[in-house]
Structure 1
Amino acid sequence: MPVITDFSLPTSAESLNLPTDSVFFISFHASVDANTGKPWCPDVVAALPPLTAAFSVNDAPQVAFVEVGQRPEWRDPSNVFRTKWNVNSVPTLARYERVDGKVKEVGRLVESEILDQKKLKKLITRPLAQL
């Protein structure tokens, strides 16, 4: 299964170690609440099943599931996910590719957009950006 749950997030997208001819996704999620055993954000709870299903097919690219912290951490404007990764809503699914020699974000779905099966499939399966 191409879902990575123990991904070590680098300091920025440019620091992702990504070969030229590949694509990589990061799905930013609310952290799991110790009291409920589920992410604290209901939008993340709703998005996890379609995300897991979309990235569990045989030819799916890799995706890293990254937790952004508990609600107080997430709401802090200086949260690293907000400042370094431009993530202002959870869940956020971002697509990264190497373009002109640099790793760049080339697509994104946010919150309820992830629940739209057509949008999700299009983001995951579209061809690589022109190099």
Structure 2
Amino acid sequence: MPVLTDFTLPTSPLTLALPATPNAVFFISFHASPDPTTGKPWCPDVVAALPHLNEVFSAAHKPQVAFVDVGLRPEWKDLSNVYRTKWNVSFVPTLARYERVDGEVKEVGRLVEGEILDRARLNKFVGGELAKI
């Protein structure tokens, strides 16, 4: 299964380790951290998006995705949160697509919140057709 749940996020998108191959692609899905009482993400949008993300990325021949937790609600609301400042994440869930462009790793598109629930849009985005917000 190409879903990574123990991914160590580098300091910035520029330092993501993508293969040097021309079609290398990598996704990061930023989620609300699980609430210690319920074991489920504290954000209902993340709870709704997770089945879609798991199903799409579990399909054969799909690229890898890293699931990254952004913290519990108080951590996430802090405007100095590293995911907000270094990764430009303003909403959870956020699915960001990274590719090598002119030799550098760059974010080339993202889906946020309810956009992830649009299965046709999600499939196109993961399959190679960029969906810009």
Q: TM-score, normalised by structure 1?
A: 0.95
* Corresponding position of 1:57: 59
Distance 2:86 2:110 in 1: 15
Once the two structures are aligned, what percentage of the paired residues are identical?
70
Q: CA RMSD in A?
A: 1.1
Q: Does 1:96 align with 2:98?
A: yes
- How far, CA to CA, are the matches of 1:75 and 1:94 in structure 2? 20
Q: Secondary structure at the match of 1:65?
A: strand
Q: How has the CA–CA distance of structure 1 residues 90 and 127 changed in structure 2, closer, same or farther, with 3 Å as cutoff?
A: closer
Corresponding residue number in structure 2 for 1:66: 68
Runs of 5+ in structure 1 lacking a partner?
none
Task: Give the number of equivalent residue pairs.
Answer: 128
TM-score, structure 2 as length reference = 0.94
- The 2-side partners of 1:40 and 1:74 are apart by 11
Instruction: Kindly provide the CA deviation profile for residues 84-113 of structure 1, in whole angstroms up to 9, marking residues without a partner as x.
Output: 000000000000000001000001000000
Structure 1 segments of 4+ aligned residues over 4 angstroms from their partners: none
Q: In structure 2, how many angstroms separate the alpha carbons of the residues matched to 1:111 and 1:82? A: 15
In structure 1, C-alpha distance between the alignment counterparts of 2:100 and 2:129, rounded to whole Å: 13
